[in-house]
Amino acid sequence: MRQSRAVKLLVDMGGGLYKMRKVIFAVEAATTANGGFGFALLVAVLAVDGTTLTRRAMHWVEAKVEKFRAKQRRKRVPLGRSLSTLFSAGGRGAQQTLLTTVLPIGAVTALVWIAASSEWISGITDDSFLFLRAALLALFIWRAGALDELARIHVESMEMADQVCKFDQAMSKAKAS
């Protein structure tokens, strides 16, 4: 089952749908709590990638602490230089997080926020802004890697069809002779 492309495709598509629903929830929750867009963005980032970001931060801190301890064992390093290195590496990590997580989720949250603002009085329903939901679902499915998996399935099926065609041609030649 781990090798099944169809199962991987299904799981990736489900993951994309689940993350899209989390962004819509973040907008609904922020609206209900009378919060602004900033609050909706915070909730969306935490809901969609909060676990991943926390895990990355913990691994980063553990690696820096271990590196610091290794240097301490070898020789005494000035605290100022160690803190400078720590902040420099932290800045690169923050930049990567901002560009790969906060910015894309911020754009998606902004689109949902704008679309939902017209429906706040009557309430967001399952029929609200369907075109935007379909586009966002495609975005999250792509982000989860499902489209790559779908392309691999297509390539494999085309190779299989080519093999069947060659087999049929060989059988036709065998029957003719």
Q: What angle do CA 64, 69, 73 make, to 5 degrees?
A: 150
**In the predicted model, is pLDDT for residue 58 greater than 80?**
yes
The pTM score is 0.56
Distance CA 153, CA 115 (A): 35
**In the predicted model, is pLDDT for residue 22 greater than 80?**
yes
pLDDT digits (tens, 9 = 90+) for 136-160: 777 777 777 777 888 888 898 999 9
- pLDDT category, 26, cuts 50, 70, 90? confident
Mean pLDDT of the chain: 78
| R_g (Cα) of the chain, nearest Å | 25
According to the model, what pLDDT value does residue 129 have? 72
Query: Which are the contacts of 109, defined by CB distance < 8 A and separation ≥ 6?
Result: 23, 26, 27, 37, 40, 41, 44
**In the predicted model, is pLDDT for residue 175 greater than 60?**
yes
According to the model, what pLDDT value does residue 74 have? 65
Of all residues in the chain, the percent with pLDDT exceeding 90 is 8
pLDDT digits (tens, 9 = 90+) for 65-113: 787 777 766 666 565 555 566 556 566 667 777 777 778 888 888 888 8
- Crossing angle (nearest 10°) for helices 103-117 and 130-144: 170
